[in-house]
């Protein structure tokens, strides 16, 4: 019978490990990805002080906005969708063209550079773009700029840029003549703006913001009347909703956080349900098949006690595993990017192995020992019955 108890205890422990592995495989990665993406985006928005991206400011508006007391700085850039050629494969992607190579407190702050080098025709990309196309420093990219095809060498890789799908940066000064030839009207296409007083700047935008860089000229119309009608329609529209405000992005962060919580709750519920089912099955096998005890009898309750205790232990260890997943996964682990080596992952891997091994040992030990406690109780009861019978004789 001891062999049977060992077998059941071992079987219970193995099933416990299988439950943890199933939950880890189906939900561990989702939880880690959600947590990591949330941390990455949260860090991105907290470090990039530019809290507005304003569309279509003219040169005059740029000067006007810069002179506002509630505005600390403005960085302007072009945005352009074009064909990129990477290793003879053509892709459609957005690019951004800047007049400043070090735009502090923006996604292209030099502090956010992962790698950099000096090249004659530089192009700067973010990590997600580099990962997507397996690009490295000093690799070449062909870019169609207007009607010209130019060769660029990657000289910088930034941490992931979460704004607008803009993944590439080249410098305005290097290609001014080409840019001016096909961007005659698009000076200051977009602008990063840092407002030290968001309420004041919000009020100013709502009252005054019009993307004047894209307004048509009088020469584009046949008559003054047509031009005045156009101006009246253009100026009467509400453009405030086109402004990208960083605090609005909090909704996206809240969504990621809720998705993370949802997956964690599902994994916890799944652990509890599966372990309940497994321990119920083990109790049924032990009592019904090996002991011949019907599940409707009072004796069944005595034999379910070890399973209830081992079930609680299993659930606790499962929750510890989920906690370790959320605690140990950071953006550096999920995006094995920012120079993270296998050695950096070693503590995480070891912690998972230890929890699983500990779960196996404790599950087996408690299940087997509690079976033995039940056996000793039964033997002691039989001894007491025997002694009482002899005394009566």
β-strands 122-126, 148-158 pairing: parallel
Coil/strand/helix, residue 68: coil
pTM comes to: 0.54
Count of all residues that appear for the chain in the document? 393
Alpha helical stretches, state H, the chain: 2-23, 29-47, 59-66, 127-133, 176-182, 198-208, 224-236, 250-284, 299-328, 331-334, 342-392
β-strands 71-86, 190-195 pairing: antiparallel
Residue of 217, 244, 203 whose CA lies nearest to 51: 244
Q: Are 31 and 326 in contact (CB under 8 A)?
A: yes
Q: How far apart are CA 201 and CA 182, in angstroms?
A: 32
Residue of 80, 164, 188, 87 whose CA lies nearest to 132: 87
Those residues with Cβ within 8 angstroms of residue 369's Cβ, 6 or more apart along the chain or in another chain: none
- State mean pLDDT over 284-295: 56
Q: How far apart are CA 85 and CA 91, in angstroms?
A: 6
Residue 362: C-alpha distances to residues 255, 297, 343, 356 (Å): 38, 29, 29, 10
Q: Which two tokens stand for residue 57?
A: 């400011």
Check residue 350 and give its pLDDT. 66
Does residue 142 surpass a pLDDT of 70?
yes
Report the range out of 188-202, 254-268, 312-326 with the highest average pLDDT.
188-202
Q: Which two tokens stand for residue 65?
A: 């906005």
Bridge partners of residue 97, in order along the sequence? 78, 170
pLDDT tens profile 305-348: 655 666 676 677 667 766 665 565 543 444 434 444 445 455 55
Those residues with Cβ within 8 angstroms of residue 55's Cβ, 6 or more apart along the chain or in another chain: 189, 190, 211, 239, 242, 243
Q: How far apart are CA 18 and CA 186, in angstroms?
A: 60
Residue of 103, 242, 105 whose CA lies nearest to 169: 103
pLDDT tens profile 167-186: 566 666 666 676 666 665 54
Where are the domains positioned within the chain? 2-42+251-375, 57-210
Does residue 286 surpass a pLDDT of 90?
no
Which backbone phi and psi does 34 adopt, to 5 degrees? -60, -45
Task: Give me the residue label for tokens 């682990």.
Answer: 333
Does residue 227 surpass a pLDDT of 90?
yes
Bridge partners of residue 158, in order along the sequence? 113, 126
């Amino acid at each position: 019978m001891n062999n049977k108890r060992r077998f059941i205890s071992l079987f219970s422990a193995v099933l416990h490990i299988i439950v943890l592995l199933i939950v880890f495989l189906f939900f561990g990665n989702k939880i880690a990805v959600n947590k990591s993406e949330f941390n990455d985006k949260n860090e991105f928005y907290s470090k990039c002080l530019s809290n507005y991206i304003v569309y279509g400011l003219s040169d005059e508006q740029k000067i006007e906005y810069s002179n506002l007391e509630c505005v600390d700085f403005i960085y302007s850039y072009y945005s352009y969708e074009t064909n990129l050629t990477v290793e003879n494969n053509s892709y459609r992607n957005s690019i951004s063209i800047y007049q400043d190579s070090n735009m502090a407190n923006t996604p292209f702050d030099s502090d956010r550079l992962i790698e950099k080098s000096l090249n004659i025709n530089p192009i700067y990309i973010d990590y997600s773009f580099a990962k997507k196309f397996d690009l490295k420093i000093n690799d070449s990219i062909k870019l169609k700029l207007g009607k010209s095809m130019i060769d660029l060498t990657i000289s910088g890789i930034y941490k992931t840029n979460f704004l607008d799908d803009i993944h590439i940066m080249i410098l305005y000064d290097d290609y001014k003549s080409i840019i001016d030839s096909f961007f005659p009207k698009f000076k200051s296409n977009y602008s990063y703006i840092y407002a030290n007083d968001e309420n004041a700047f919000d009020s100013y935008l709502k009252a005054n913001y019009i993307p004047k860089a894209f307004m048509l000229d009088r020469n584009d119309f046949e008559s003054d009347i047509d031009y005045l009608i156009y101006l009246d329609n253009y100026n009467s529209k509400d453009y405030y909703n086109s402004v990208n405000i960083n605090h609005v992005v909090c909704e996206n962060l809240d969504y990621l956080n809720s998705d993370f919580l949802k997956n964690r709750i599902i994994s916890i519920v799944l652990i509890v349900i599966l372990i309940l089912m497994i321990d119920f099955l083990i109790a049924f096998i032990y009592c019904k098949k090996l002991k011949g005890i019907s599940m409707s009898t009072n004796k069944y309750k005595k034999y379910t006690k070890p399973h209830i205790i081992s079930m609680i232990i299993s659930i606790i260890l499962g929750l510890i595993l989920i906690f370790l997943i959320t605690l140990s996964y950071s953006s550096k682990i999920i995006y094995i990017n920012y120079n993270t080596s296998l050695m950096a992952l070693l503590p995480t891997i070891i912690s998972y192995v230890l929890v699983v091994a500990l779960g196996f040992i404790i599950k087996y030990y408690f299940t087997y020992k509690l079976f033995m406690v039940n056996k000793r109780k039964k033997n002691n009861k039989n001894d007491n019955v025997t002694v009482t019978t002899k005394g009566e004789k």
